[in-house]
Structure 1
């Protein structure tokens, strides 16, 4: 039925409507990509394999930064593809709220990157690279993990903007993965 609905939607130009399509491969690929990043961070933290490869905590941190940034772009692209393959669920289609959450989320993420710099943003503490003083200004005066919660809000904003149930479920996965990551970091 879902495949017929997708075919009709592609021919008529009307959006596929429904609650959730669990038959799409893109949904599971996006879920795997979301889970991979924190697992990768934990692997580096446990083994310090990048520090060993690059023989320097700074080079290792920069390599991790490039890797995390690139994997984040891939993850976001896979998330978008998964949402594109999903039906519109009208009660969740809240474009204005979605834009607001997305903007708040990106403000938290970008302002944390600005405050922390490259080594602070990309887990320099995993490599023994610590900042001279604790950052206490915005956005850290709002939340202790602005990058995680900002990213979660951006995922949720996108889900509501597009009206996709799968987006909300994948956002829940993002939230849980970041909670787990925070446990390792604290």
Structure 2
């Protein structure tokens, strides 16, 4: 999470406008958005990967699916693949992603994907981003959301995407 990170600004449909916003700069332009992408990784036994945010991050010590902002010039899917690799060391290809859905948030267009991986991939957590991880049943991730153990932004996301997410996890 560098302050020199640049995001493409988009309209409500996700179309880049040829303008950027630097992470951390005040006054995000009203009515515009940046893309945030996330991947729900499903390993061979059907368990999904959740990660616990580093203590010094927003929503520190809360659980989530690996996620982050698309950098200038990246597609949503490319950002999802990059963020997953950076935070967890799990590598997937854009072609491995199944699109769950898009949700409009205050300043972000949030995209969720599912990626199935073979076996039990080794993890290499980035301590600046993630302090813990767990492979759990999707029902356990949803239970944690209900219990308030997932980062607050995830609650409406899981309400919106729950059924489709479950279908793609089971596939």
TM-score of the superposed pair, with normalisation by structure 1: 0.24
More RCO (CA 8 Å, sep 6+): 1
The structure with the largest strand share of the pair is 2
Query: What's the TM-score once normalised by structure 2's chain length?
Result: 0.26
- The structure having more radius of gyration, on CA atoms, is 1
